[in-house]
């Protein structure tokens, strides 16, 4: 999780920022799924073998969150593509210097 | 047959815009998406009025999706807290959609208008979901739908200025971090209580009466996440570029309603749930929210003075105005929360009106509106300029406008809490607001060059004047806004005192 945040903050490349965001979100998904584990529990399927089941609800929540995460990444990548078409670079520093030039 | 629909009104106000948005995305023509949106939003307003009628009878509606009883199913809750906001939302969205048509035709390719209105309705539906939902995870989903829809709308501004892409990208990254923080908080809350329903959460949390570290950590994560989304001062940096490079119609919608709905949920979380731990709440309000609000008011206003670009100026003044709202909410008593809600209503109208007027100027001038470009606009386009003047005076807080009512209630609330330092600071920053607004007025009316007046488009100045007249009307006859705000505060604070 911290690794993902670190990538978002430090990297100068917009593409890497999107990747960092995806890692950050995935870490949170894993955190949710780990909450659901019940000791000795099995998957929540009705069988005679099992005495304890893992909690399925966090899995369902994360399924929703994954969909949201995919949409976020897709939109982020689409924006990076558009930025590349307009500026011909996706490095933060180069774009900043381009903007400074166009202001003058 | 009609009654079946009315029974489902709480769900329909959210689902209807979402459904229609999927349909109009494929409409190629230039006018039909707009007509369908207007019809949808008229229905939306009708449903909101129906909800108001129901609420005035019963006082509380809990709508269970698929008849799954809470805490298992997702539910919507409508009560005194959100009915006022729901009504304002419905009306303002209708007015700004009416306004948006000519603006979109000028600012984006007309072949894209189907897609633009699809995103527009998506944003409307999901923001409405934030107002009504009673489930903390459901809120995250609506938060993300509205964020993604508004990011795409902001990126449509790229046809005018490519900076819009950078603004949208920054909003995406910062917004997604905020939302993920919120989800971590939800995870902690769920791990401790096993519930996501807000009413049930209060009951379950009560068993940890002296508090647990995991709960405090979760609460802090949730609050920080929402603060990012609501652009409360130190985490506001995504807001000014996003508002100023978005197409003007989009800035209107976002500035007036997007941050307001999230602020509303923020305060509901504070006073409905976290109230169980008064020591944590007062720690957060006194040492985090209160100083940050003061900083936001002061710094937002000062930065606004130095802006040359009018839309950026308005965006920074939004930061300051959000500061006023959070300052009111940090007061922990009835008068504070009520004055916060008063300012939510009034500021939505004021900022909406200002962005509408500036958006029209941008089209007339065919470039970004800077201070210099406004020269002589007061004579050139008198109808719109006069509306801008009234909205601006209301932003400063002159009597006979609704901005005065907000300031009056805020001062009253601060006075009863004996916060004289904040009163002084709010007064000073109101005076500073005069400085930046005077710069605009000076350019518009007091430049040497005189222009003849030109024809203005009635389709555009009509909605601007609807907003302006409502500003004056609510400045003189403020009872409806005051009553809705007091109602909201009654519901929230009654939980606080028990």
Q: What is the C-alpha to C-alpha distance for residues B216 and B209, in angstroms, rounded to an integer?
A: 12
Q: How far is B169 from chain A (nearest CA, A)?
A: 6
Answer whether residue B309 shows pLDDT above 80: yes
pLDDT band at B366 (very low <50, low <70, confident <90, very high): confident
pLDDT at B311: 87
Q: What is the number of domains present in chain A?
A: 1
For testing contact with chain A, the best of B112, B119, B165 (most A CBs within 10 A): B165
pLDDT at B209: 67
Q: How far is CA B393 from the centre of its chain?
A: 20
A47-56, B5-14, B391-400, range with greatest mean pLDDT: B391-400
Q: What is the C-alpha to C-alpha distance for residues B85 and B321, in angstroms, rounded to an integer?
A: 17
Q: What is the C-alpha to C-alpha distance for residues B314 and B305, in angstroms, rounded to an integer?
A: 10
**CB–CB of B20/B37 below 8 Å?**
yes
Q: B107-165, pLDDT tens digit by residue?
A: 777 777 888 889 999 999 999 999 998 888 999 999 999 999 999 999 888 877 888 88
pLDDT at B181: 92
Answer whether residue A104 shows pLDDT above 60: no
- Mean pLDDT for B284-303 is 89
Q: Work out the angle at residue B91's Cα, subtended by the Cα atoms of residues B86 and B94, and round it to the nearest 5 degrees.
A: 125
Using alpha carbons, select from B190, B59, B91 the residue that is nearest to residue B494: B59
Residues of B (159-178) whose Cβ lies below 8 Å from A = 162-163, 165-166, 168-169, 172-173, 176-177
Q: What is the C-alpha to C-alpha distance for residues B458 and B78, in angstroms, rounded to an integer?
A: 37
Answer whether residue B182 shows pLDDT above 90: yes
- Mean pLDDT for B336-356 is 90
- Who's near B19: CB < 8 A, 6+ residues apart? none
| Neighbour count for residue B141 (Cβ, 10 Å) | 21
Q: Search chain A and give the residue with CA nearest B142.
A: A68
Answer whether B173 sits within 8 Å of A21, measured CB to CB: yes
Answer whether residue B495 shows pLDDT above 70: no
| Domain interval for residue A21 | 2-103
Q: What is the CATH number of the domain that holds A73?
A: 1.10.287
- Mean pLDDT for A18-44 is 83
Q: How far is B140 from chain A (nearest CA, A)?
A: 9
Query: For the ranges B345-354, B363-372, B477-486, which has the lowest average pLDDT?
Result: B363-372
Exposure on the CB side of residue B405, measured as CA atoms within 13 A: 27
Residues of B in contact with A17 (CB under 8 A): 173
pLDDT band at B489 (very low <50, low <70, confident <90, very high): confident
Q: A1-29, pLDDT tens digit by residue?
A: 677 777 777 778 888 889 889 988 988 88
| Residue, of B158 and A62, whose pLDDT is higher | A62
DSSP string of B64-105, one letter each residue: EGGGPPTTTS-EEEEEHHHHHHHHHHHHHHHHHHHHHHHHHH
pLDDT at B210: 66
Which residue of B155, B184, B190 is in closest CB contact with A28?
B184
Q: What is the C-alpha to C-alpha distance for residues B146 and B261, in angstroms, rounded to an integer?
A: 11
- Who's near B38: CB < 8 A, 6+ residues apart? B94, B97, B98
Residues of A in contact with B122 (CB under 8 A): none
pLDDT at B497: 47
Answer whether A75 sits within 8 Å of B148, measured CB to CB: yes
Q: B65-83, pLDDT tens digit by residue?
A: 887 877 778 888 888 788 8
Q: Look at strands B60-64 and B75-79 and give their pairing.
A: antiparallel
Answer whether residue B249 shows pLDDT above 70: yes
Which residue of A24, A76, A86 is in closest CB contact with B162?
A86
- Mean pLDDT for B314-335 is 89
Q: B416-471, pLDDT tens digit by residue?
A: 888 888 888 888 888 888 888 888 888 888 776 666 677 777 778 888 898 889 88
Burial category of B418 from C-beta neighbours within 10 Å (exposed 0-12, middle 13-18, buried 19 and up) = exposed
pLDDT band at B377 (very low <50, low <70, confident <90, very high): confident
DSSP string of B9-50, one letter each residue: HHHHHHHHHHHHHHHHTT--SSSHHHHHHHHHHHHHHHHHHH
Q: How far is A49 from chain B (nearest CA, A)?
A: 26
Which residue of A21, A31, A80 is in closest CB contact with B184?
A31
Q: What is the C-alpha to C-alpha distance for residues A80 and A87, in angstroms, rounded to an integer?
A: 10
Answer whether A99 sits within 8 Å of B183, measured CB to CB: no
| A→B interface, C-beta within 8 Å | 5, 8, 14, 17-18, 21, 24-25, 28, 31-32, 35, 58, 61, 64-65, 68, 71-72, 75-76, 79-80, 82-83, 86-87, 95, 99
Query: Tokens at residue B195, please?
Result: 């519930």
Percentages helix, strand, coil for chain A (3-state, rounded to 5) are 70, 5, 25
- ipTM at complex level: 0.89
Answer whether residue B329 shows pLDDT above 50: yes
pLDDT at B498: 43
Q: How far is A3 from chain B (nearest CA, A)?
A: 13
Using alpha carbons, select from B403, B392, B390, B393 the residue that is nearest to residue B481: B403
Percent of chain B topping pLDDT 90: 17
Q: Does B214 touch chain A (CB under 8 A)?
A: no
Which residue of B163, B169, B180 is in closest CB contact with A28?
B180
Answer whether residue B191 shows pLDDT above 70: yes
pLDDT band at B399 (very low <50, low <70, confident <90, very high): confident
Q: How far is A47 from chain B (nearest CA, A)?
A: 23
A and B: number of Cβ contacts within 8 A? 67
- Mean pLDDT for A26-42 is 81
Rounded to the nearest integer, the mean pLDDT of chain B is 86
Helix (H) or strand (E) holding B472: helix B458-476
Query: For the ranges B27-31, B77-81, B162-166, B290-294, which has the lowest average pLDDT?
Result: B27-31
Answer whether residue B316 shows pLDDT above 80: yes
| Residue, of B197 and B109, whose pLDDT is higher | B197
Answer whether B176 sits within 8 Å of A95, measured CB to CB: no
Length of chain B equals 498
């Amino acid at each position: 999780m911290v690794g993902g945040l670190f990538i978002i903050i430090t990297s100068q490349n917009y593409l890497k920022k999107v990747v960092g965001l995806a890692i950050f979100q995935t870490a949170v998904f894993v955190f949710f799924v780990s909450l659901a584990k019940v000791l000795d529990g099995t998957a929540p399927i009705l069988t005679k073998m099992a005495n304890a089941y893992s909690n399925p609800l966090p899995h369902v929540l994360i399924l929703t969150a994954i969909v949201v995460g995919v949409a976020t990444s897709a939109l982020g990548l689409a924006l990076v593509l558009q930025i590349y078409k307009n500026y011909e670079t996706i490095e933060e520093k180069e774009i900043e210097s381009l903007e400074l030039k166009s202001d003058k | 047959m009609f009654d079946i629909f009315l029974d489902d009104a709480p769900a329909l106000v959210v689902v209807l815009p979402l459904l229609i948005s999927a349909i109009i995305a494929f409409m190629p023509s230039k006018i039909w998406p707009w007509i369908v949106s207007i019809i949808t939003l008229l229905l939306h307003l009708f449903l909101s009025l129906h909800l108001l009628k129901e609420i005035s009878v019963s006082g509380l509606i809990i709508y269970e999706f698929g008849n799954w009883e809470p805490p298992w199913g997702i539910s919507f809750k409508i009560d005194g807290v959100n009915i006022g906001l729901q009504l304002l939302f419905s009306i303002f969205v209708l007015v700004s959609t009416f306004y948006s048509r000519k603006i979109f035709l000028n600012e984006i390719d007309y072949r894209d208008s189907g897609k633009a209105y699809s995103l527009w309705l998506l944003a409307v539906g999901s923001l409405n979901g934030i107002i009504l939902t009673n489930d903390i995870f459901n809120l995250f989903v609506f938060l993300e739908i509205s964020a993604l829809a508004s990011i795409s709308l902001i990126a449509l501004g790229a046809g005018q200025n490519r900076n819009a892409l950078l603004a949208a990208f920054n909003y995406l990254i910062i917004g997604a971090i905020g939302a993920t923080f919120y989800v971590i908080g939800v995870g902690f809350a769920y791990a401790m209580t096993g519930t996501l329903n807000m009413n049930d959460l209060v009951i379950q949390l009560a068993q940890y009466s002296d508090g647990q570290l995991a709960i405090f950590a979760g609460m802090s994560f949730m609050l920080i996440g929402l603060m990012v989304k609501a652009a409360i001062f130190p985490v506001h940096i995504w807001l000014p570029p996003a508002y100023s490079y978005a197409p003007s119609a989009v800035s209107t919608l976002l500035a007036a309603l997007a941050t307001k709905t999230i602020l509303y949920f923020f305060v509901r979380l504070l006073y409905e749930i976290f109230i169980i731990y008064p020591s944590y709440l007062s720690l957060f309000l006194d040492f985090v929210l209160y100083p940050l609000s003061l900083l936001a008011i002061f710094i937002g206003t000062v930065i606004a003075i130095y802006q040359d670009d009018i839309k950026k100026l308005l965006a920074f003044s939004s930061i300051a105005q959000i500061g006023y709202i959070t300052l009111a909410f940090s007061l922990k008593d009835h008068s504070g929360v009520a004055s916060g809600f008063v300012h939510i209503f009034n500021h939505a109208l004021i900022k909406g009106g200002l962005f509408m007027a500036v958006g029209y100027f941008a089209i007339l001038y065919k470039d970004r509106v800077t201070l210099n470009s406004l020269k002589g606009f007061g004579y050139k386009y008198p109808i719109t300029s006069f509306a801008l003047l009234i909205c601006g005076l209301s932003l400063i807080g002159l009597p006979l406008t609704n901005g005065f009512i907000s300031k009056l209630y805020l001062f009253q609330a601060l006075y009863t809490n004996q916060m004289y330092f904040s009163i002084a600071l709010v007064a000073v920053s109101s005076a500073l607001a005069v400085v930046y607004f005077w710069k605009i007025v000076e350019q518009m009316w007091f430049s040497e060059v005189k222009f003849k007046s030109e024809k203005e488009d009635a389709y555009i100045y009509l909605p601007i004047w609807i907003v302006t007249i409502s500003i004056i009307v609510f400045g003189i006859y403020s009872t409806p806004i005051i009553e809705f705000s007091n109602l909201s505060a009654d519901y929230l604070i009654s939980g606080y005192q028990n």
